[in-house]
Chain A
């Protein structure tokens, strides 16, 4: 966060002029309306303006928004990966009968032919 009192913080803030110069809202009234006096005065005004505007949360540039979105995404992925799973029941996909397994599970497959032999009487019974 912005530390308004520390002079060191002022230095750091003045290194990000793009935040102000590329400001999509344009220059702030306090800067544009000021008459250009001494260089020192202008510098002081600029830093003050930056400080206030950054403190208020100026609209980010497109690049900043992109960077920030990337950062957010990374944070979200990290949070998701770290999130422990619930204690609910674990279920995978439905285990459907597999032809090869079914065949292997029969010691005497020929016995099932007795069921197929019912076809004719079933046709007769269900012809209605």
Chain B
């Protein structure tokens, strides 16, 4: 099965799923897969490492949500931060993993917004973006 058809299949499964969590998980997986292929085609170095980092803390799901909404919502970030803090206290994720995942998310979102251009369906400004600020502040707090 080609990567394209795999992505399509994952999205079909997500659409068919009655469980919103499962749908989000499948959508996140589809985004990761498509992003990896696109990053490699775009000639971005360390594409695999970047996508792996994104997936490690489940931020591929946040990217899927952001793409679906056309922008990163503050509420989505807030929910993710609660999960990440929990993962940190339960030691299921390290601070380094979370930080790398956030940086990978930020880079991918910035690239997608740049390529799409203004009015391209996905907005991710680096200034005056409360949702991004919140995410990056958390990443900075984990930086040692």
> Are B11 and A112 in touch, CB under 8 angstroms?
no
Whether the pair B11, A122 counts as a contact (CB closer than 8 A) is yes
Q: Which residues of B contact A126 (CB under 8 A)?
A: 14, 20, 23-24, 27, 64-65, 68
* A interface secondary structure, majority: helix
The verdict on B56 contacting chain A, using a C-beta distance below 8 Å, is no
CB neighbours (8 Å) of A93 from chain B are 140, 143
Task: Decide yes or no whether A99 CB sits under 8 A from chain B.
Answer: yes
Q: Is the interface of B mostly helix, strand, loop or mixed?
A: helix
Query: Is A125 located at the chain interface by the 8 A CB criterion?
Result: yes
A121 and B8 alpha carbons, distance in the complex (Å) = 9
By the criterion CB–CB under 8 Å, are B121 and A106 in contact?
no
How many positions in chain B have a CB within 8 Å of any CB in the partner chain? 47
* Interface stretch of the complex, out of B35-43, B77-85, B86-94: B35-43
**B15–A103 CB distance below 8 A:** no
Contact residues in A for B110 (Cβ distance below 8 Å): 97, 99, 102
Contacts of B20 in A (CB 8 A): 126, 128
Q: Of B24, B37, B67, B144, which is within 8 A of A119 by CB?
A: B67
Q: Which residue of B lies closest to A109 (CB)?
A: B115
A124 near B136 with CB under 8 A, answer: no
Interface size on A, residues (CB 8 A): 31
Q: How far is the CA of A111 from the CA of B35 in the complex (A)?
A: 10
**Are the CB atoms of A122 and B27 closer together than 8 Å?**
yes
What residues of chain A lie closer than 8 Å to B115, measured between beta carbons?
Answer: 109-110, 112-113, 116
When the two chains form the complex, which single residue of A89, A108, A116, A125 contacts B15, counting CB atoms closer than 8 Å? A125
B31 within 8 A of A: yes
Contact, CB under 8 Å: A119 / B34: no
Are B31 and A112 neighbours in the complex by a CB distance under 8 Å?
no
- Residues on B lying within 8 angstroms of A by beta carbon are 7-8, 11, 14-15, 18, 20, 23-24, 26-27, 30-31, 34-35, 37-39, 41-45, 64-65, 67-68, 70, 99, 103, 106-107, 110-112, 114-116, 120-122, 126, 136, 139-140, 143-144
